[in-house]
Chain A
Amino acid sequence: MTGPRPLGSAALVRLIASRESSARLRDKNFIISSIVIIVLLVGTLGLQVVLNSGSDTTRVGVVGDPALEVAIQAQGKALDVDVTVKALDDEDAARAAIEDDDVDGVLIAEEGQQPELLVEQSAGGSLQAIVQGAVAQLSLSEQLASVGISALEVPAVSVTALDPQADQDGQRVVVAIIGIGVLYGLLILFGQFVAQGVVEEKASRVVELLLATMRPWQLLAGKVVGLGLLGLAQIVVITVVGVTGALAFDLVDIPGDLVGTAVGVVAWFVLGYAFYASIFAAAASLVSRQEDLGTVVMPTTLVLVVAFVIGIQAASDPSGTLAVVTSYIPGVSPLVMPVRQAAGDVAVWEIALSVVLMLVAIGLIVRLGGRIYAGALLRTSGKTKIRDALRAERA
């Protein structure tokens, strides 16, 4: 028996934080929402895989002229279809290959016979086009050779791409939109958790017992940190599942950028959560019943919704005035800056400025919110005015 020991702030905050997160981990709503998010994510990935699988390799078997193999490959390249060619001995081998689903179709082009394409049921659009093109080209060059023309001078067309990365930019923006979607959802979810937790303690009056052993800021810090770590764990899990899935199924052409954007989203979650959790906590401390919670958190929720809408808008116009200006405004920046970062036209100093502004705002909010929280916590009757809460703390 060692008996009671003095308890430092860090130990106290850790105790509170672990109670908060373990209480949430047992909460049915939390578990269900987590499962729903992961299922949605995996579902989206699966859908992408299914949609992309239509454009996989066309496999062509060839019986006869080896020159056809080269021609088919060339045709595939010209039509932007992946083609594999397999040489087969005779028609029996061809039929067997089709039945075994080794190839999609077999071109039988033996000397002196009409070329024939064998398929199981019907030739897909690209299969027939490739084979027809290859046969035509080969026959054309044979006929030209027979009249003595061996090489044809054809001017090569040179290609100049105006935006060679347009496709990749598009992918980056899609990734960023998914990212801020997750970010927005989790900020709302965990902001609500913080608010509900604060009101629960006031409504059940347990707060008086708690404050007999700790200061308001310790209680607030424990709550925000505990739920925040849970939120961080959740967004990390979502990000890891999403990114790993996307890379494993080869859904993106830009693995490096995908990881960068994902890391950015997680980092902005930390800043955004610190900001919104403090506001939600201070707002919630003004009321004593869950029924009244809606009215006090509404303005903050609206700010989040507006920020999300701006973020989506920024995806289509990442360098527009609205996106640029709002990417510096604390509270809105977590949902806009990741999009601009993903679109790739942000200087490092711009990100740094936005982060610094956000940190300054968090500092102010934590101080002010902490004072409101401390002043309003023990007023368990009705709704407290912000001014009264601030005055109460000073007394």
Chain B
Amino acid sequence: MLEFDGLSKSFGDNHVLDGVGFTVAPGSMFGFVGSNGAGKTTTMRIAMGLVRADAGEVRWQGRPLDQETRRRVGYMPEERGLYPKMRVGEQVTYFARLHGLGAAEATRASEEWVDRLGLGERRGDQVEKLSLGNQQRVQLAAALVSRPEVLILDEPFSGLDPIGVDSLAAALLDQCRQGVPVVFSSHQLELVERLCDSVGILARGRMVAAGTVEELRRRDSERLLRVVVPDAVPHWAGELSGVRVVSERAGDTLLELADGADDQAVLTAALRTGRVAHFAWQQPTLVELFREAVATPTPQEVAA
């Protein structure tokens, strides 16, 4: 298990993280979402030992991460960084060696990854001569070349074209299948929803929601009901008990049901108006979940 436990960090008076914790199982992918400045990068930098936490720790297989175990972590920083004048192949080899691979093995692993990421012909080129997308691939190769046990990637998809996104996603899923826990942050929520087994939403330094996308949905579902009744008169549902009309346009009605409100009573009312074209619980997208989670301050936050 990769455990982030109770991480807190302040820079002066600025409380960046306040008790952030979550767990990632081996072979699962964790999507880390949150608005800019929410603390995602700081959380990852704490894991990599680049920022010292005021409280809390990050554990891998029950042991706090230290310099030696961090060598087994593949990391991609938010601000991409490579030696601009070093050649692609040599650079990847160098990072493999820094992660503890022997000379011959590092060279072999570097060749393999450079080929796999489609950079075989650019092996001898200086990194600064590559396009940004290709530089990003080199960056990924540098993170993956040492066969890491854990992957921590800060915004790995930013700046990639759709084909680049697909190949990176495939590479990450491949790592996952081999039992590597993958943590990555992203603003591309559809992508997170598609790839991740579980998701954490960070807002103002706190984890406001964490769990599988299904779990997050369930928290919110059984609340929003979409009913399409083309023949209904306006305000047809206004009188139902425990039901609030969120929106209504030409019979396309979105209803919010309070706890204990009877959805079957709504269906009956709908049938009374005539034909029912659609009746279903609204599945909130991650975007909607995110907006909601980020927008509402938690009770502690209000108190604070």
Q: Which residues of A approach B to under 8 Å, CB–CB?
A: 1-7, 12, 15, 19, 23, 200-201, 204-215, 378, 380, 395
| Contact A209 B142, beta carbon cutoff 8 Å | yes
Interface assignment of B68: CB less than 8 Å from any CB of chain A: yes
- When the two chains form the complex, which single residue of B67, B73, B86 contacts A214, counting CB atoms closer than 8 Å? B67
How many cross-chain pairs have Cβ atoms below 8 Å apart between A and B?
79
| Contact B75 A212, beta carbon cutoff 8 Å | yes
Chain A residue numbers with a CB within 8 Å of B52 are: 395
Chain A residue numbers with a CB within 8 Å of B94 are: 15, 19
Contact with A along B90-122 (1 / 0, CB 8 A): 000011011111100100000000000000000
| Contact B83 A213, beta carbon cutoff 8 Å | no
| Contact B50 A2, beta carbon cutoff 8 Å | no
Given contacts A4-B146, A23-B85, A215-B67, contact A208 B50 (CB under 8 A): yes
Q: Which residue of B lies closest to A215 (CB)?
A: B67
For this complex, 29 residue pairs linking A to B, each with C-beta atoms less than 8 Å apart, are A1-B105, A2-B105, A4-B72, A6-B71, A6-B100, A15-B94, A15-B97, A19-B94, A23-B83, A23-B86, A200-B84, A200-B85, A204-B81, A204-B83, A204-B84, A205-B79, A207-B81, A208-B45, A209-B75, A210-B98, A211-B48, A211-B49, A212-B49, A212-B75, A212-B77, A213-B71, A213-B99, A214-B98, A378-B50
- When the two chains form the complex, which single residue of A210, A212, A215, A378 contacts B73, counting CB atoms closer than 8 Å? A212
- Closest Cβ of chain A: how far from B165's Cβ, in Å? 22
Q: Which residue of B lies closest to A6 (CB)?
A: B68
| Contact B81 A209, beta carbon cutoff 8 Å | yes
| Contact B98 A5, beta carbon cutoff 8 Å | no
Contact with A along B208-232 (1 / 0, CB 8 A): 0000000000000000000000000
Q: How large is the interface on B (under 10, 10 to 19, 20 to 34, 35 or more residues)?
A: 20 to 34
Majority SS at the chain A contact face: loop
| Contact A205 B81, beta carbon cutoff 8 Å | yes
Majority SS at the chain B contact face: loop
Contact with A along B61-88 (1 / 0, CB 8 A): 0000001101111010101111111100
Chain A residue numbers with a CB within 8 Å of B75 are: 209, 212
Interface assignment of B147: CB less than 8 Å from any CB of chain A: yes
- Closest Cβ of chain B: how far from A221's Cβ, in Å? 14
- Closest Cβ of chain A: how far from B242's Cβ, in Å? 53
In the A-B complex, the 10 residue pairs with the smallest Cβ-Cβ separation, listed nearest first, are: A205-B81, A4-B100, A206-B81, A205-B79, A212-B48, A208-B77, A213-B98, A212-B75, A7-B100, A5-B100
| Contact A3 B147, beta carbon cutoff 8 Å | yes
| Contact A204 B67, beta carbon cutoff 8 Å | no
- When the two chains form the complex, which single residue of B48, B72, B79, B98 contacts A380, counting CB atoms closer than 8 Å? B79
- Closest Cβ of chain A: how far from B269's Cβ, in Å? 59
- When the two chains form the complex, which single residue of A5, A23, A207 contacts B102, counting CB atoms closer than 8 Å? A5
| Contact B146 A12, beta carbon cutoff 8 Å | no
| Contact B70 A213, beta carbon cutoff 8 Å | yes
- Closest Cβ of chain B: how far from A215's Cβ, in Å? 7
Chain A residue numbers with a CB within 8 Å of B79 are: 205, 208, 380
Chain B residue numbers with a CB within 8 Å of A378 are: 50
Q: Which residue of A lies closest to B87 (CB)?
A: A26
| Contact B50 A212, beta carbon cutoff 8 Å | yes
| Contact A15 B98, beta carbon cutoff 8 Å | yes
Q: Which residue of A lies closest to B77 (CB)?
A: A208
Alpha-carbon gap, A15 to B85, bound state (A)? 18
**Which positions 40-68 of chain B face chain A at CB distance < 8 Å?**
45, 48-50, 52, 67-68
Chain B residue numbers with a CB within 8 Å of A23 are: 83, 85-86
Chain B residue numbers with a CB within 8 Å of A205 are: 77, 79-81
Q: Which residue of A lies closest to B78 (CB)?
A: A208
Chain A residue numbers with a CB within 8 Å of B147 are: 3-4
| Interface core residue of B70, B71, B84, B99 (most chain A CB under 10 Å) | B71
Given contacts A4-B72, A4-B100, contact A211 B50 (CB under 8 A): yes
Given contact pairs A200-B85, A212-B73, enumerate 6 new A-B contacts (beta carbons under 8 Å): A4-B99, A4-B146, A5-B102, A200-B84, A378-B50, A395-B52
Chain A residue numbers with a CB within 8 Å of B97 are: 15
Alpha-carbon gap, A343 to B282, bound state (A)? 93
Chain A residue numbers with a CB within 8 Å of B98 are: 7, 12, 15, 210, 213-214
Chain A residue numbers with a CB within 8 Å of B102 are: 2, 5
- Closest Cβ of chain B: how far from A233's Cβ, in Å? 21
- Closest Cβ of chain B: how far from A79's Cβ, in Å? 63
**Which positions 124-175 of chain B face chain A at CB distance < 8 Å?**
142, 146-147
